[in-house]
Amino acid sequence: KEAMDNMGGFIATMTLAYKKEGRSAENDFIKARDELFSMIEKGYPLPESLNPEDRGVLVSSMINTVIKEKTANPDRVRAAIKTLGRLESDVAVPYIMEVLALEEFKSDSIQALGSIGSKSAQDLLTEELGKTTKTSVKNEIIRSLGKIGGEESLERILSLFPESSDGEFDRNMEISLLKALSSIAAGGNTDQRIFKRFEKYLTSPEKELRIIAVQGIAQFNLTRTADLLFGMLKTEKEEEVLLWIIRSVNRIGSQTTVSTLSAYLRNDGLSERVRIEIIHALGNNAGGSKALPFIVENLKSPSTEVRGAVTDALLNLYEVDGKTVTAILSRGLLTAKEEYYLIDGTAVLAKIADPGSLNTLYTLLQKPIPEVKKNVTWALFRTRTTPNARIVDELNKLVTSETEPIDVRINAARALGAIGFDSTALKVWQTMVTTAKMRGEKYTMLRLFAIRALGDLGTVNEEVISTLSGLALREDNPELKKEALSAIQKLSLLDDTVERSLVNLFKRTQEKDIQVHIVEVLGDMGSVETPGMSSTLLSGTLEHPLKIRVVYALSRTGGE
């Protein structure tokens, strides 16, 4: 993007200099043109949108280069020819014709004419095809004519095929002709002679020719096309050809595509690449949800790549039919034995975060696999479920369990905060208070989310007040200190103990953001201490964003 922006700037400079007179303008033009050429020669594309004026100057400059620098700077001339092709400039055709005869520019000139695609470009290519004897040049022209398309190109290309299959036929030319026909079909030409030509090559003994035939015949969105390609699925042995058949039938969009690919997916003898290609195809098919049982079954595969394809397919299909994806994946997970199935499947549940999976998540929480628990607790955090005593109880136990990995405990604490449910029987607040008081570097994030959960749970009692005010006053870690202040603010704790702790902390700390946070908390409380603290901060050196926060906090207290 940066390169394209720069190129746009060089073109604009050229246009501006082109309008002016004098040596200074000429120098500006040459400098910008040279910079532009340097970037074109490196392979950067031109900016996507050019206004007519810039386009005109650029075309003129490129034509001028082709005319004047054939001998002095052939590399620059090649870049100019390619650029004229990219610009699809029909006015450049006569100038390209002049260098078409020169061997060093022939290939680029043929490609540029194919990109221009005008009648004059087509006529020039057809004329050159009749004159040249070099097979490599013929192949280049054939590909360009295919790119141009149209009836004239089609007739010329069809005429180059031998009338019978006897005798020798240059293989490279055969490939070029088939690719040209594929380009013409891709342009919307439905001539049955093209279809029949591809149909003939579907049974070619050469793999590459069969692939081109599959690609070409797929341009015809016909029932017969699907039937032919489905038939090939049963007999084709080459992996590369199978991959193209699968991509092509999915593109055609036949009504039987999903059922046919689903049946094929159940074949135990499939290679890994073919299996992945089918899963991707079904995952990107609008009717792919009908194949979900067969897709999910592949989570049993020991291949990481296959399971990755299943994950992608499930996430794609969730956007189309979320309810079915959740139901079928949940059913599979509840009976799965393979550890990798459970891990990858629960990772999908965590990504989709569907409330319909809650019962499944609760059951899977009992699995003794740490990675599964990590995914399930993360899923419960993301679904932000309505209060569920069973789930809350299980999460509460996980937070305090020293036998569980720390990431499972952190996720459990986050989920409890997101659910925001407590009761006299569960006493989640007590778990969070205990966790918030833990010591040791490895517990830092667990403590942070326990403190945050205290603010989210909404339980206010003497122990919660004491814990949060103590953390705000005495905690060494500034992030935990801020989290305690946020929890106090959420709970709106108008309490003498809290107020005294915050006033003491304000006096002791030198950190401006913590002092501002304290003022915000006291402002929300309506504390009489707020004006004095605000005055101290506003009369000192304070960054503008922090000043705004202090002024707002001060406005919350009311009074003179």
* Interval 181-202: pLDDT, tens: 999 999 999 999 999 999 999 9
What is the 3-class SS of 235-293, one letter each residue?
A: HCCCHHHHHHHHHHHHHHCCCCHHHHHHHHHCCCCCCHHHHHHHHHHHHCCCCHHHHHH
Q: How far apart are CA 294 and CA 318, in angstroms?
A: 15
Smallest CA-to-CA distance from 471 within 455, 453, 451 is with 451
Query: Backbone phi, then psi, for 387, in 5-degree steps?
Result: -50, 125
Angle CA 61–62–63, to nearest 5: 95
* Other residues' Cβ atoms within 10 Å of the Cβ of residue 546: 17
Structure tokens of 538?
A: 């506003």
Name the percent of the chain lying above pLDDT 70. Answer: 99
pLDDT band of residue 540 (cuts 50, 70, 90) is confident
What is the secondary structure of 411-433 as a DSSP string?
HHHHHHHHHT---TTT-HHHHHH
Structure tokens of 173?
A: 């030319």
* Other residues' Cβ atoms within 10 Å of the Cβ of residue 5: 9
Q: How far apart are CA 542 and CA 547, in angstroms?
A: 6
> Across the chain, what does the average pLDDT equal?
92
* Interval 378-394: pLDDT, tens: 999 999 877 889 999 99
Alpha-carbon distance values, 426 to 212, 397, 430, 454, 557 (Å): 67, 10, 9, 14, 37
Q: Looking at the predicted structure, is the pLDDT value of residue 163 above 80?
A: no
- For residues 281-293, give the mean pLDDT: 95
Smallest CA-to-CA distance from 435 within 388, 363, 487 is with 487
pLDDT at 524: 86
What is the secondary structure of 488-514 as a DSSP string?
HHHHT---HHHHHHHHHHHHH---HHH
Smallest CA-to-CA distance from 240 within 200, 212, 198, 260 is with 212
pLDDT at 497: 81
pLDDT at 165: 65
Alpha-carbon distance values, 65 to 11, 77, 484 (Å): 15, 6, 70
Which of the two residues, 221 and 273, has the higher pLDDT score? 273
Q: How far apart are CA 555 and CA 219, in angstroms?
A: 69
* Other residues' Cβ atoms within 10 Å of the Cβ of residue 42: 9
Can you tell me whether residue 221 is helix, strand or coil? Answer: coil
The predicted model scores a pTM of 0.80
Structure tokens of 539?
A: 């009369």
Q: Which helix (H) or strand (E) holds 226?
A: helix 223-235
DSSP letter (8 states) at residue 395: H
